[in-house]
Amino acid sequence: MKDRPIKHFYQQTLFLRWAARNRRLFSHQPYLLQQKKGSCDIAFRGVSKHITCCFTKPGAIMIGADYRNTNFDIIGEFDLYEERTPEGRWLCSMCRDHPHPDKTEPFIEYEDRKEMWIEHSFAPLAAWTRESFTINAVLCLYRDGGSTWAVIEQGPNLKKTTESRYLFKKFPVLTAR
């Protein structure tokens, strides 16, 4: 039996088109690394191979720190679980059902599905790359017994990090410009 071609899901197709048209919003250009049934992995040109972004068909968008071909930790999330209202507007059900207590913006219903994905997830992801993928940034991997975690450190936190007894690996975030 032949393998069927993998169907693109809405947010993957939209993200790749949007990112190509909005290169200036990213510090390092995203590209499709791998596609699977119901998910895809995105990488960023000039950024460590230990940092990838996974999109899933249900709506998860996770920045992962990978080590030895295993997801070590999630270091960022830009999830959007879309829902259409009876009036035809679009919303993120996570924002409606589990509001963040520190979030000051009002809950938003969007007229346009594309606009929702861009404003809710893609633009914040692009902003995150500009903040995180800097010349001085270091991906730090920690472990304590069976617990592991990862953080991109830079500036004053980096000195404190190198002194941590739980730090066991660190990699520069940028590999090239």
pLDDT tens, 147-169?
999 999 998 888 888 789 999 99
Q: Would you say residue 69 lies in a domain? A: yes
- Token pair 């809950």 is found at 107
Residue 159 resides in a domain = no
Q: What is the pLDDT of residues 120-142, one digit of tens each?
A: 999 999 999 999 999 999 999 99
- The HSE-up count of residue 159 (CA atoms within 13 Å, CB side) is 2
Within a domain: residue 18? yes
First vs last C-alpha separation in the chain: 44
In a domain, 176, yes or no: no
Boundaries of domain holding 18: 10-135
At residue 7, the pLDDT reads 57
Q: Identify which of 36, 33, 26 has the alpha carbon closest to the alpha carbon of residue 50.
A: 33
- The number of domains in the chain is 1
Residue 35 lies in a domain: yes
Report d(CA 91, CA 124) in Å as an integer: 16
**Is residue 148 in a domain?**
no
Q: What letter represents residue 138's amino acid? A: V
Q: Model confidence over 29-60: pLDDT tens digits?
A: 999 999 998 999 999 999 999 999 999 999 99
Scan for tokens 């509001």, then name that residue: 99
